[in-house]
Amino acid sequence: METTTINSKFEGSNYATVISNGKHQIINDEPIEDGGQDKGLNPYELILAGLATCTTATVKMYADRKGWKIGKMSITAILEENNVSRIIKTTIEITGNITEEQKSRLLLIAKKCPVHKLLSAGNQIETILN
């Protein structure tokens, strides 16, 4: 079983937290209109960032294995919410000399990224307060 660990530490400045995996750090905060100081991405943006970066890596790894020469890739992830539901929409733009058939295959591969699978499957979260 693989384990991924992230620590989030609040250090007394409104809602800003320092997030670390033990090697790297980023700042998370809430927008000013929600009482934060907007020092970093908010929690929803971090989730979308994880999806976008994982999708990028998954598509690039597959294209590399196939020997397909893709140029630049851009992925936009948007969370749309209303009173009834939430939907995450991702748009992938790839430059390079790839065919429509290859693009179709890359779209299927994008949906196999581990973060996409995590977000689209039912998951259980256990929370403990010490």
pTM of the model: 0.88
Contact in structure between 27 and 19 (CB atoms under 8 Å): yes
DSSP code for 83: S
Please give the backbone phi and psi of residue 119, each rounded to the nearest 5 degrees, phi first: -70, -30
Mean per-residue pLDDT, 75-103: 92
Structure tokens given for 121: 């499957």
pLDDT at position 114: 94
pLDDT at position 122: 80
Report the alpha-carbon distance of residue 4 to residue 19 in Å, rounded.
Answer: 13
pLDDT digits (tens, 9 = 90+) for 13-40: 789 999 999 999 999 999 999 999 999 9
pLDDT averaged over every residue in the chain? 92
For the chain, helix, strand, coil in percent to 5 are 35, 30, 40
Report the alpha-carbon distance of residue 116 to residue 55 in Å, rounded.
Answer: 8
pLDDT higher than 80, residue 78: yes
What lies within 8 Å, CB to CB, of 73 at 6+ separation is 56, 59, 60, 92, 93, 94, 95
Residue from 56, 65, 121 nearest 90 by CA: 56
Report the alpha-carbon distance of residue 38 to residue 121 in Å, rounded.
Answer: 31
Q: Give the pairing type, strands 7-10 and 17-20.
A: antiparallel
